[in-house]
């Protein structure tokens, strides 16, 4: 079970504290068991900071605490605090990664549906979309929605399957596979009736809770091959 430790401290020497945390990260490189750390500053109380440190388990956290480097840094941290820091130990019982869920829902449910309100709730008004297949940028959520509708017209049954997702900061990277049957024209190419199977990766950047920019990298050549538009040479 994932374990989180909250370290609550008050200090007027945060810059020194920050450098100390950098020293700890460098000293424990390759041996620490912490996987993620966030430091928050209290907006309503000057000098009040909370550090949130994540570990794979409580046992791994105890192993990390037993490192000589951790003990040394802790004593130096206490000396920089106005009062002794307090610790809260938490077993994580629910972990919601909301941006990943939003992207998954878009790909598997909303994409290609003519629902302007749903698009505007998920994407920023000035959304910018980059697609290697086009070589140009699409600006605005409504223009992007129209593009997805174009793919739905060409492949009425198309469906994404999310294979893998990674989230860091304001970005979510999704590796997906896609399947569809071409029963309508696609950018000047007449309908072929062929089925298309391809894979790709999309990176979405969030801003203020909505998707503000996207980058699509997908197997364009594979789609053209499945449609019968191009023929690849054989060995």
Asked if 61 contacts 3 with a C-beta cutoff of 8 angstroms, the reply is yes
191-196 mean pLDDT? 95
State yes or no: pLDDT of 72 exceeds 70.
yes
Q: What are phi and psi of 94, to 5 degrees?
A: -155, 135
Q: 197-233 pLDDT, tens per residue?
A: 999 999 999 998 999 999 999 998 889 999 988 776 7
State yes or no: pLDDT of 1 exceeds 80.
no
Asked if 158 contacts 137 with a C-beta cutoff of 8 angstroms, the reply is no
Report the C-alpha gap between 228 and 221 in whole angstroms: 11
Report the C-alpha gap between 159 and 122 in whole angstroms: 19
pTM of the model: 0.76
Q: Which fold has domain 3-91?
A: Alpha-Beta Plaits (3.30.70)
Q: 163-183 pLDDT, tens per residue?
A: 999 998 899 999 999 999 999
Q: What percent of the chain has pLDDT over 90?
A: 72
Q: 44-63 pLDDT, tens per residue?
A: 999 999 999 999 999 999 99
Q: Is 24 exposed, middle or buried (0-12, 13-18, 19+ CB in 10 A)?
A: buried
84-92 mean pLDDT? 93
Residue 231: what pLDDT? 77
State yes or no: pLDDT of 42 exceeds 90.
yes
Q: Which fold has domain 98-227?
A: Nuclear Transport Factor 2; Chain: A, (3.10.450)
In the three-class reduction of DSSP (H, G, I as helix; E, B as strand; rest coil), residue 98 is classed as: helix
Strands (E), 142-209: 159-168, 171-181, 195-207
Report the C-alpha gap between 110 and 22 in whole angstroms: 43
How many residues in total does the chain contain? Answer: 235
Residue 235: what pLDDT? 63
CB neighbourhood size of 227 (10 A): 19
The larger pLDDT score, comparing residue 188 to residue 104, is at: 104
Q: 113-166 pLDDT, tens per residue?
A: 999 999 999 999 999 999 988 878 999 999 999 999 999 999 999 999 999 999
Domain segments of the chain as ranges: 3-91, 98-227
Task: Sort residue 228 into left (φ over 0), alpha (ψ -120 to 50) or beta.
Answer: left
177 half-sphere exposure, CB direction, 13 A CA radius: 5
Average confidence score pLDDT of the chain: 92
- Which residues make Cβ contacts (< 8 Å) with residue 220, sequence separation at least 6? 132, 133
State yes or no: pLDDT of 234 exceeds 80.
no
CB neighbourhood size of 18 (10 A): 12
């Amino acid at each position: 079970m994932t374990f989180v430790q909250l370290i609550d401290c008050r200090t007027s020497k945060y810059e020194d504290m920050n450098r100390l945390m950098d020293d700890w990260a460098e000293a424990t490189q390759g041996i620490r068991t912490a996987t993620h750390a966030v430091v928050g500053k209290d907006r309503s109380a000057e000098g009040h900071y909370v550090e949130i440190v994540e570990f794979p388990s409580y046992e791994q956290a105890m192993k990390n605490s037993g490192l000589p480097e951790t003990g040394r840094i802790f004593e130096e941290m206490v000396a920089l605090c106005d009062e002794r820091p307090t610790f809260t130990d938490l077993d994580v019982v629910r972990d919601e990664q909301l941006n990943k869920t939003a992207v998954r829902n878009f790909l598997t449910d909303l994409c290609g549906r003519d629902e302007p309100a749903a698009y505007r709730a998920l994407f920023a008004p000035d959304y910018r979309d980059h697609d290697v297949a086009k070589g140009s940028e699409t600006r605005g959520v409504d223009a992007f929605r129209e593009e997805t509708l174009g793919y739905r017209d060409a492949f009425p049954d198309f469906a994404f399957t999310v294979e893998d997702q990674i989230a860091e900061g304001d970005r979510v990277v999704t590796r997906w596979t896609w399947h569809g049957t071409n029963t309508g024209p696609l950018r000047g190419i007449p309908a072929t009736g062929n089925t298309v199977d391809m894979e790709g990766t999309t990176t979405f950047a969030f801003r203020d809770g909505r998707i503000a920019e996207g980058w699509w990298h997908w197997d364009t050549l594979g789609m053209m091959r499945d449609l019968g538009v191009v023929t690849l040479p054989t060995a």
